[in-house]
A and B are shown apart, each in its own frame.
Chain A
């Protein structure tokens, strides 16, 4: 048992519950719902008489008042009553009690340790949500194994819009790794290249996803979609969303909606590669390309010399330092590198590529093609968005 929570903490919990319900319904509905629940529960928990729900919302959005006498009531009984109240709210709201209801509710108490701990330990909020969603899942006849495979396939197809198939798989695998600490069951997802179907990947599950609690399953799906979205370089999250919906098809999209995965409102923070990332990738790619024909040691020496030469006309390169020894190299960028003007950045990158390709004669076409491969679709797109046209660059290397 935790330290005592007093009547003011209970008041905070109830007012938060009211606000979370109101967000999904309305102020009036939230107040009337809670009044009704308290009335229904008072015969069992007599102390609820100390709670007064007023239709008028007082200062700081509070409309529930709790008498100090509640502080003297047995804590277990108080938690039990609160448990019932929250449970009734979740079930009453039905589909409006989305996954984030419980999370928001818990998070609201992050700064109040005693309350937050009690909301986690003494009131099994996760279990409640789970129980509720299990019921819903039964009514949906949800086939989780098939749904997750379909979602992964759809995400791979969306990724493939901007990336090669290999890169798309890399993004998925990277995302699984990132999500593993929270959703260990992603361990059992394998994306396997099927040699018999050109470039087609099959998704296999080495464990049964059916047994995963529906709440957790849906939460994982949402995070998977969101995380993949942040890795992909779409100009707008709406673009990612519409492609995903298209690839998912009506049935899968409908199943996700029924699980309250907000696929119609995916707000993805744009993860645009920084200028530092792009320049890093360009230098790495050039070193790799030169190194394959000579040696990496020599390639690094070439890049140092090229950067030295090009920085005479492009100051931006003075903000990069290459350290090297026989076995490896590293790049350091000044802190303000990312704030460089995009046009300057693009011109600098172009000059660096031109400087390296300057003596390649009839191989210049191959050089640009190979460089694009080394950069990968994502970074080529980043350059092209800045206005660097690789085809024109190839011509200029004449």
Chain B
């Protein structure tokens, strides 16, 4: 059974590289992508519930912080593990991001490392 991942980022290159990279290289993931918060919520509202969300922080319309907060307001969505995948590397963003997310991965990232950390989170969640 493939693990269902939803990656949310406003950068199409990131969406492409995560989707293609994870699906092609590992064959154990099924990756959906959303170019921002609204598209993410559309997918979730349509019942596309992933096993894990990879969430960018700096996005133009709805920031990753607010996407996270909104996820927490839905009893089903709040159970989805969130991993921040971001270029925000300052101590405060990392510190506060790590408080609530399952992991905080800085860009640029290595696909093997990304896969390892996704698996770690999913294994932990059982």
Contacts and interface: CB of A to CB of B under 8 A. Distances in A.
Interface of A: 290, 293-295, 297-302, 304-306, 324, 326, 355-363, 367
B98 interface: yes
17 contacts: A293-B93, A293-B96, A294-B65, A294-B97, A295-B65, A295-B66, A297-B66, A298-B65, A298-B68, A299-B96, A301-B100, A302-B99, A305-B99, A326-B70, A358-B95, A361-B91, A362-B91
Contacts of B111: none
Interface in B35-63: 63
A302 B99 CA distance: 7
Contacts of B66: 295, 297-298
Contacts of A299: 96
A373 B72 CA distance: 29
A306 B70 CA distance: 17
Contacts of A300: 69
B69 A293 contact: no
B interface secondary structure, majority:
helix
B94 A301 contact: no
B91 A363 contact: yes
B72 A304 contact: yes
A301 B68 contact: yes
Nearest to B94: A359
B95 A294 contact: no
Given A295-B63, A295-B66, A297-B66, A363 B99 contact: no
B84 to A, nearest CB: 11
Contact of A295 (B69, B94, B98): B69
Nearest to A364: B95
Nearest to A293: B92
Interface of B: 63, 65-66, 68-70, 72-73, 90-100
Nearest to A300: B69
A305 B73 CA distance: 12
A357 B91 CA distance: 11
Question: Which residue among B66, B70, B92 has the maximum number of chain A CB atoms within 10 Å of its CB?
Answer: B92
A76 to B, nearest CB: 73
A383 B65 CA distance: 30
Given A297-B66, A298-B66, A304-B72, A356 B91 contact: no
Contacts of B92: 293-294, 360, 363
- Ranked nearest first, the 9 interchain pairs of A and B with the lowest CB-CB distance are A298-B65, A360-B95, A301-B69, A363-B91, A359-B95, A293-B92, A297-B69, A295-B65, A359-B98
B96 A290 contact: yes
Given A300-B69, A304-B72, A294 B96 contact: yes
Contacts of B72: 301, 304-305
Contacts of A305: 72, 99-100
Contacts of A367: 95
Contacts of B90: 293
A300 B96 CA distance: 12
A134 to B, nearest CB: 62
A298 B73 CA distance: 11
